[in-house]
Structure 1
């Protein structure tokens, strides 16, 4: 898959993940938020919980299984750290979540995946 196709696939997955989170009662407060340390795909809030969400979109389960590792999660956590002051007012819980998106499947929401 070329770079443009991968970018389209990723953006489509992020839209699906945002839609899914909204259906679960989350409010999307940020999309593709860039920091010096990296980018956060989605920032979502539900009640007093703030989630920095990494979205991975792949064509099959095997590719999704390899899409998230400690290195990627560490980058998301570093980027999130710089955004807590901006988005974290009034929250009791801040976490890193992952959304796994595959064609013709319901998105999978992995909650609180980083404990670094």
Structure 2
């Protein structure tokens, strides 16, 4: 798969993840945010919780179990740390979530997956 096709597939996955989060009461407050230490696919708010969300798409559902690793989570957490002053207020709780998507399956939302 070439770079343009992978980019388009990633954007579709992020739209689906955002849709799923909105259906579950979240408001999307940021998309595709890049900072020098990493990037965050989605930033979502529900009440006083801010979730920095990494979205992963795989063509086969069985590949989802290996879609995220410590290296990727560490980069998302570093980016979230830099971005949190932009999105979080003093009383908010902040967490790192992962959304796993594959064809023919409902999205799987993994909550609070990273603890520095």
Which blocks of at least 5 consecutive residues in structure 1 are unaligned?
A: none
1:82 aligns with 2:92: no
1:42-67, Cα deviation, whole Å (9 max, x unpaired): 00000000000000011112322221
Secondary structure, aligned partner of 2:6: helix
Q: Give the structure-1-normalised TM-score.
A: 0.95
Q: Please give the root-mean-square deviation of Cα atoms over the aligned residues, in Å.
A: 1.0
Aligned to 1:49: 49
Contact 1:57 1:64 in 2 (8 A): yes
Deviation (angstroms), 1:115: 1.1
Structure 2, unaligned stretches of length 5 or more?
none
Moved over 3 A (4+): none
SS of aligned partner of 1:82: helix
Residue 93 (structure 1) aligns with: 93
Q: How many residues align?
A: 116
TM value normalised by structure 2? 0.95
- Correspondences of 1:1-80 after superposition (within 5 Å): 1-80=1-80
In structure 1, distance between residues paired with 2:8 and 2:46: 28
